[in-house]
Amino acid sequence: MEQIRAVPSESNGYYLTVLDSVGDGVIVVNRAGLVTLMNPAAEELTGRSRRQTLEVAFSTAFSTEPTLVEMVERTASSGVSRSDQDNVVLKSSGRLIPVNATTVPLMQADGETIGVILTLRDMTSIRELEAAVRQADRLSTLGTLAAGLAHEIKNPLGGVKGAAQLLERELDPESDLQEYPRVMIREAERIDRIIRQLLELASPRGPRYTPVNLHMVLGDIILLQREAAGSREVSIVTGFDPSIPPLMADEAQLTQVFLNLIRNALEAMTEGGRLTVTSRVLSEYHLGSTEGRNRMVCVEVADTGPGISVENISKVGTPFFSTKEGGTGLGLAICQKIVADHRGMMKIDSLPGEGTRISVLLPLIQSPVKG
């Protein structure tokens, strides 16, 4: 049987350049099942180099990706394209990447199938955006509920606290009973704090933009929290990109975000550890097509604490989810709301046993808010 060689010749240089510039991964497999072409995006997504895979059987080179092997084989034998594999996950450098894989038959002008083209699209940012949207949906429902509830609770709570204060005054200062009104007042104040945080979460008030010196905000928080960390063996390392200009943001809200994140990190490191706070500019980060290409600032707060368990990672940031005694579980939910209001994004990476890294992405320039 005649051997099909789909390896492009020099005269195909123009087409190769085009393929190399495509953002999606493209792999071509010939009729004999050998890989004959692979663009740089495919190398990056699959963690395999062209040198390793060219002229090697696809089923061998990608033996750890049975879904892809099956798709290629089916298209090769049936001539029918397949593209419903939305959840294929490639393992490159130990990282899981959600990809959308499509196989189409490579046909000659006479309709004869001479191979299969496999395209791979990295779905990471789309998945992240989808998760952020789901979270925002959950928050807005909660917000409406919370606002109503908070309003109903505030008045009776004020009554309870007032009565406890009266009782405290009426009692003999030396009385053993003094402890009880004090507990009542303290706990009423705690409820009050939770309600205020809930209202914050539910508040429709958007950010009040002014130019904010990000590093000054971070520096002040770190200075105060260094004191709070006190005798614990926590070292604090900062790495700021001095070229970051003032951001258009709500300073009080940003302070709240980074205070919550840094407090969480310090609270996680009960045995001591290292807190790292860094800032940098991501030059061409783009949030979907509607936002266009915006320059984003990325602030990372990383700790060497116990990390978040696989079981809990999807729950953190859900209002009231807390593993802490006395924690409200509203801290991260508020952070997420504020960051979303600033048209940014928050990402949590955590490895149990190694630590947690929270990245906050904020647009460098805010386009004027309408209305």
Ligand X SMILES: Nc1ncnc2c1ncn2[C@@H]1O[C@H](COP(=O)(O)OP(=O)(O)OP(=O)(O)O)[C@@H](O)[C@H]1O
List of residues contacting ligand X (CB under 6 A): 260, 264-265, 268, 303, 305, 308, 316, 321-324, 327-333, 356
Q: Of 203, 230, 223, whose CA–CA distance to 144 is shortest?
A: 203
CA 201 vs. chain centroid, Å, equals 19
- Strands (E) across 74-182 are located at 82-92, 95-107, 113-122
- Residue 303 interacts with which of Mg ion, ligand X, none, CB < 5 to 8 Å by class: ligand X
Task: Find out whether 43 and 54 touch, Cβ atoms under 8 Å.
Answer: no
CB-wise, 266 or 287, nearer to Mg ion? Answer: 266
The Cα–Cα gap between 88 and 71 comes to 11
Q: Minimum CB separation from ligand X for residue 84, in Å?
A: 36
CB-wise, 260 or 279, nearer to ligand X? Answer: 260
Q: Minimum CB separation from ligand X for residue 266, in Å?
A: 8
Q: Minimum CB separation from Mg ion for residue 169, in Å?
A: 35
- Residue 324 interacts with which of ligand X, Mg ion, none, CB < 5 to 8 Å by class: ligand X
- Closest residue to Mg ion, judged by C-beta, is 331
The Cα–Cα gap between 207 and 203 comes to 11
Count of helices and strands (H, E) across the chain: 11, 12
CB-wise, 260 or 279, nearer to Mg ion? Answer: 260
Element at 136 (helix H, strand E)? helix 124-170
With vertex at residue 359, the alpha carbon angle to CA 355 and CA 362, rounded to the nearest 5 degrees, is 170
CB-wise, 106 or 358, nearer to ligand X? Answer: 358
Helix (H, G, I), strand (E, B) or coil at 345: strand
- Closest residue to ligand X, judged by C-beta, is 331
Q: Minimum CB separation from Mg ion for residue 256, in Å?
A: 11
The Cα–Cα gap between 203 and 144 comes to 9
CB-wise, 188 or 358, nearer to Mg ion? Answer: 358
CB-wise, 134 or 324, nearer to ligand X? Answer: 324
- Residue 328 interacts with which of ligand X, Mg ion, none, CB < 5 to 8 Å by class: ligand X
Q: Minimum CB separation from ligand X for residue 305, in Å?
A: 5
Q: By the criterion CB under 5 A, which residues form the site for Mg ion?
A: 264, 331
The Cα–Cα gap between 270 and 305 comes to 8
- Residue 308 interacts with which of ligand X, Mg ion, none, CB < 5 to 8 Å by class: ligand X
Strands 25-30 and 113-122: antiparallel
Q: Minimum CB separation from ligand X for residue 310, in Å?
A: 13
